[in-house]
Structure 1
Amino acid sequence: MVGLRQFVIDAWSWLNYKPVMADAGRPGNRAFPELAASWLPPQEMRRLAAYKVLAAYDNNQAGQLADDADSAADRRELGDAAKVVDTALGYLLGSEQKVTVEGAEHAEGEVPRPGAAEAAAVQERLRQWGTKELLTLRIQQAERSAVLLGDSVYALAWDPVKQRPTLRVYDPGFYFPQWDDDQDQDFPTRVHLAWELPEDPELGLKARVRRVTYELGPIAEDDASVVREYPWEPGQPSRMTCFLTDGEWLLEDLGRGQTLDRLPMDKAAFRVRPDGTELNRLDLWIDFVPVIHIANTIPHGGEHWGQPVIAKVLQGLDELAATDSDSAAASATTGTPIIGLAGARLPVDRATGRPVQLTVEAGAVWQLGDSGRMDALDTSPQLAELRARVEHLLDRIASNSRITSAGLGTLDASQVPSGYALKLALGPLDALVGAMRLAREHKYQLLLKMVQRLYQAGRADGWPMGESLPARLVWAPHAPTDRAAVLDEVTQAYGAGVLSLETAVAMLGEAGYPIQDAAEEVARIRQSAQQESQVRMEEAAAARGGGREGQPQEAAAGSGAEAAGQEKAGGFGFGAGALGQR
């Protein structure tokens, strides 16, 4: 009697059909021998194996995971997985990402709101920090990893030389958070970043594992009265701080059971900073762990990890690769068909006296007898069927991944009767991008809050004490927008008095108009409107004066009314009267 297979449901169940996932944690695994390292926690094996499988798809190497080497060599992978990932990444990121601070758009108003100037100053400093730290590039790096693997990791650190926080992106396979049973799943108090360093015979270095640990703990474990006040929470003493430990262990020194969180500290070689400080429980003078985990999707309750965009269509990608392989084989017989000869005079090998095997190639000539004939096997109908199946699979993958055929670029434009129909076709993509951005919203707010607090902890110039201001990352629209329609909508809403000037300018910026800074744009619009209003008033006054000198009173009055009407009828735009004077 054959027993049932083990049935596992977890964050990576969609990969259970892969044999390599069943053997991911077994020592000596052929596909992933590095996962047999003794320091890796057993509960992390499936996650790490999933990352490797996904990376294989991204690099057109999924066929190498097959047990049959011959079938792996014949497998055709034409970059479809990478295309799905890159397409989803492009829609997620939009054309640009911008750091904004709540209230900064009101700093240039006629009557600035309380705190608006401070918000604008923090916004400018954060944007300068993003420029220096190549924030846009780091976001690209992290988000591609998140879209492909389901997860990504940022780490912040204060650089005393540069006098600013530095931002690094880590592979999620290096990220090992540690939770207690009753601990908040979103914010672990202990995080390991660990990876193996290979052996280097030329430098005399043995294989080793490096572990960077951030851990929250009491400032003084044996004295609860030791507290400190952090700049972002003045007047609130805290006894907690974050400790940093950065060390290396030789693999040969690690025994069975000495996993990542149980490495022997007496065999560690701790790293040293340029100033000579040993990184062994170094007090960072902050009360948070400066590591941010980005999940591609909103995790299920009780889960922590995200899902990649190709998670539910991996089997479709396998079918597509198999169809491409069959199509390649069929095209060989179509281009060089199988030929049957009857009554042919075959050449004879003089050495053996046997007929020589014919070779089908361009320019080949065979002599046939009087009743001879030649027949060619036509396999083009089968090739056409395979190509049609490829199109069907692409549509299925686009649909099930929610990128849609229109979003993936495989939809024929002639099949879209109207722009409204295209908008409906992009509906699943809109929902996908909205969910992905929602999963990241809080994490980027947290990252920008940590940046502000690291500046405060480093006593940087221009960063006063006090609570960090709410900052967020704003994404550009993921799909093309009808800018003319948005402009008309904003103009009507502003003219009706249901939108403020600041909101109207912000809407235009989100629609794709080249507005770099909403507050500065509002100030320019108001200044231009005031100048135009002044010019019109002067022209109206001059017209009235000319009427007194000899022009009929009706004409003078008409000129003044015309100028006033022009001032009142100003539309939405740079220097428009109605826009600038409200």
Structure 2
Amino acid sequence: MGLRQFLVDAWGWLNFKPVYADPHLGTPHRRAFPAAHATWVPDEDARRLAAYTVLAAYDNNQAGELAEIRDGPEARERREFGDPATFIDAITADVLGDEQRIVVDGAEHDEDDTSPDAAEASAVQEALIQWAEDEQLAMRMQQAERKAVSLGDAVYRLAWEPGKGRPTLRAMDPGLYFPVLDDDAGEFPRRVHFCWELPEDPKRGLKDRLRRITYELAPIAPATVSGTDRLGRPLRTYLGEADAPLLTPGDTVDETGTILRQYPWNDAPSPYTCYLTDAVWLLEDLERTSDVDNLPMDKAMYARRDDGEVLNGLDLMIDFIPVVHLPNTVPAAEEHWGRPSLARVLQVMDELAASDTDSARASATTGSPILSVSGLQDSRTDLAAGPGMVFKLADGGRMDVLNTAPQLAQLLATVESLRDRAAVNLRLPAVALGTQDPAQMPSGYALRLSLGPLDKLIAGMRLARRHKYMLILKFVQRLFIAGQHPDWVGRTVQPATVVMGAYTPTDRAGVLEEVVTAYTAGLVSLETALRMLAEGGWPIEDIPAEIERIQARAFAQAGALADATGDAKAVRDYLGLKGEPPEQVPVPVLPGGQDLDGERDAGQEQ
């Protein structure tokens, strides 16, 4: 009977849009999303790619252009004033916080701790901070996080760059990302594709092509070398004889015939390595049954790396895929993809656009009102009102004005109501959006209560990201070691993470009062007090250095320490004084000329 299917999947929140879901099949509109229906795109990825296009249209104020394909030219008349992009930018800024710091476990230790583990952790942290500065990590995170918030997913890709002598990090569009998620993939897929079409270039004589970059974790094979086939096309061939290929130096074979390799970051040899393939196909050579994971390899044209290596199953000499998928939210059980932040309020965004469109039309009649004139002395009927215009009316004539200002005011109130509704559903309070003056809040405690929904939102989003950034820093350390960087020879991989800073406005006066009360009562240490101030927005960059500066001027506390311990060295250490204390402290002389032993000064007796 042609009943519409009821689809509940990771992209079901977009089924309300007719241009996205076919009324009967639930598949994306073919004219609106031709890329999602390409022959090489797997069926399970079609809805995902179409959803990315819809979300990008909302982000760039182009939802009307997308709706025009199905609803006709009148859909272009809708007004879109950037509300989706404003919400996306606000959430992205809150997730990242005011700063991003790389922290290695054990690197922040006391100066007296001279153990090798503490020194190693400090050295790795300094090296990672320098790498982050060279690789512009903050900018890469900004690029990826905005993709994650707006589209629901982001992807990082790492690679060792011999020319730069460091790993490189790039943020990739999730629309190019095609992981092979089979039942045996486990937590991480064992094969990942990046695939996209290259348009025709008549000037260079190039036809429509398809490029695919593949990372695959597979058993270690014998060594290969770059070569060519009988047609002169680049490929890789095994070293040695066909029946006795050679192994890569350092590899071994166990009693079962499995090739093993000892990686510096593993305790036991591993039978796996990561292979890289970069190839291009002509679209006309692809069969209709071929998808991104099943392309005809006999028609592939393999690329070459800068050093001449053919990228056809190139052994990267690492036992992990240097690709990290970053979901915007914690995925549901047995799911891989995240959910965009605007997923549940897209219908509100449509209502906002409709109200903005109605407001624009109403403002036209308010600014240039419609006039009704009767009893004109002049018989002309084609009249137009303008500045300085005078209408001569006969006796009994009148002129009426159609006032649409009340309707315009009601429409503007509706727009504000819809914007507030969207903010509530997104868990973005007005003070976080900058639309409310924090000074109007009765107290800092009331401010914190109003930010409660935002705290829970950001806590969940950062939970989805914490392990991913730990994985990125782990991969960076492994690539440094695998690339045999001179500063990383003999080092071990250390647990490291990216700590994101504060994101909410704070009541500094309230935080200061709370800290002073707790510290004065002896309930918290100086270290904890300064950390509370730093988290409350006070400009404290280095807590240990700040403690040293405070103690260097705390003479009253130093005197109390001397009275309690009688240890001059402890007092000097407390004040941060360098050098050794004098062997004998000078005896103070009393005003009457007698020292503490009762003897008079010899110079005074003379």
What amino acid does structure 2 have at the position aligned with 1:214? Y
> Residue 366 in 1 paired to residue 391 in 2?
yes
> Residue 17 in 1 paired to residue 16 in 2?
yes
**Matching residue of 2:74:** 71
> Residue 38 in 1 paired to residue 39 in 2?
yes
Please show how residues 308-323 of structure 1 align to structure 2 within 5 Å.
308-323=340-355
- The alpha carbon displacement at 1:491 in A equals 6.3
Q: Deviations over 1:487-512 (max 9, x none)?
A: 56566767777766666655554444
1:530 to 550, 563, 573: 573
The question of whether the paired residues in 1 share the 8 Å contact of 2:107 and 2:119 is answered with yes
Moved more, 257-266 or 481-490: 481-490
SS at match of 1:176: strand
SS at match of 1:100: strand
> Residue 231 in 1 paired to residue 231 in 2?
no
- The alpha carbon displacement at 1:73 in A equals 2.3
- The alpha carbon displacement at 1:411 in A equals 3.1
**Matching residue of 2:567:** none
Q: 1:409 to 1:502 in 2, by over 3 A?
A: closer
SS at match of 1:63: helix
2:175 to 173, 176, 180: 173
RMSD: 2.9
TM-score (norm 1): 0.86
Aligned counterparts of 1:502 and 1:450: Cα–Cα separation in 2: 33
- The alpha carbon displacement at 1:291 in A equals 0.3
What amino acid does structure 1 have at the position aligned with 2:406? P
What residue ranges of structure 1 are gaps of 5+ in the alignment? 349-354, 555-582
> Residue 419 in 1 paired to residue 441 in 2?
no
SS at match of 2:19: helix
Aligned counterparts of 1:12 and 1:384: Cα–Cα separation in 2: 37
> Residue 340 in 1 paired to residue 372 in 2?
yes
What amino acid does structure 2 have at the position aligned with 1:211? R
- The alpha carbon displacement at 1:98 in A equals 0.7
**Matching residue of 2:120:** 118
**Matching residue of 1:132:** 134
What amino acid does structure 2 have at the position aligned with 1:5? R
- The alpha carbon displacement at 1:545 in A equals 1.2
Moved more, 366-375 or 108-117: 108-117
**Matching residue of 1:565:** none
**Matching residue of 1:455:** 480
The question of whether the paired residues in 2 share the 8 Å contact of 1:232 and 1:466 is answered with no
Please show how residues 178-577 of structure 1 align to structure 2 within 5 Å.
178-184=180-186, 186-220=187-221, 224-234=257-267, 236-348=268-380, 355=381, 357-411=382-436, 416-465=441-490, 467-483=492-508, 486=511, 506-517=531-542, 530=573, 532=575, 545-547=588-590, 550=593
Aligned counterparts of 1:34 and 1:346: Cα–Cα separation in 2: 63
Q: Deviations over 1:123-145 (max 9, x none)?
A: 00000000010000000000011
The question of whether the paired residues in 2 share the 8 Å contact of 1:231 and 1:466 is answered with no
Aligned counterparts of 2:549 and 2:316: Cα–Cα separation in 1: 44
Aligned counterparts of 1:32 and 1:478: Cα–Cα separation in 2: 37
SS at match of 2:178: strand
Give the percent of matched residue pairs that are identical in Structure 1 and Structure 2.
55
- The alpha carbon displacement at 1:4 in A equals 3.3
Aligned counterparts of 2:543 and 2:220: Cα–Cα separation in 1: 44
The question of whether the paired residues in 1 share the 8 Å contact of 2:195 and 2:211 is answered with yes
What residue ranges of structure 2 are gaps of 5+ in the alignment? 223-244, 246-252, 554-571, 598-606
Whose helix proportion is higher, 1 or 2? Answer: 1
2:158 to 156, 159, 168: 156
SS at match of 2:131: helix
Aligned counterparts of 1:387 and 1:242: Cα–Cα separation in 2: 58
- The alpha carbon displacement at 1:534 in A equals 5.3
Aligned counterparts of 2:462 and 2:511: Cα–Cα separation in 1: 22
**Matching residue of 2:4:** 5
- The alpha carbon displacement at 1:200 in A equals 1.2
Aligned counterparts of 1:524 and 1:120: Cα–Cα separation in 2: 22
Please show how residues 98-109 of structure 1 align to structure 2 within 5 Å.
98-106=101-109, 108-109=110-111
**Matching residue of 1:569:** none
The question of whether the paired residues in 2 share the 8 Å contact of 1:339 and 1:374 is answered with yes
> Residue 86 in 1 paired to residue 89 in 2?
yes
Q: 1:45 to 1:551 in 2, by over 3 A?
A: farther
Q: Deviations over 1:240-271 (max 9, x none)?
A: 00000011111111120111001111111111
The question of whether the paired residues in 2 share the 8 Å contact of 1:25 and 1:35 is answered with no
Aligned counterparts of 2:199 and 2:65: Cα–Cα separation in 1: 23
- The alpha carbon displacement at 1:345 in A equals 3.5
Aligned residues: 541
- The alpha carbon displacement at 1:216 in A equals 0.3
What amino acid does structure 1 have at the position aligned with 2:481? Q
The question of whether the paired residues in 2 share the 8 Å contact of 1:212 and 1:247 is answered with yes
What amino acid does structure 2 have at the position aligned with 1:336? S
The question of whether the paired residues in 2 share the 8 Å contact of 1:483 and 1:511 is answered with yes
- The alpha carbon displacement at 1:113 in A equals 5.3
- The alpha carbon displacement at 1:173 in A equals 0.3
Q: 1:414 to 1:527 in 2, by over 3 A?
A: closer
Aligned counterparts of 1:461 and 1:183: Cα–Cα separation in 2: 35
Aligned counterparts of 2:161 and 2:529: Cα–Cα separation in 1: 40
Aligned counterparts of 2:136 and 2:420: Cα–Cα separation in 1: 37
Moved more, 376-385 or 34-43: 34-43
- The alpha carbon displacement at 1:288 in A equals 0.5
Aligned counterparts of 1:471 and 1:293: Cα–Cα separation in 2: 18
Aligned counterparts of 2:26 and 2:277: Cα–Cα separation in 1: 28
The question of whether the paired residues in 2 share the 8 Å contact of 1:197 and 1:207 is answered with yes
**Matching residue of 1:142:** 144
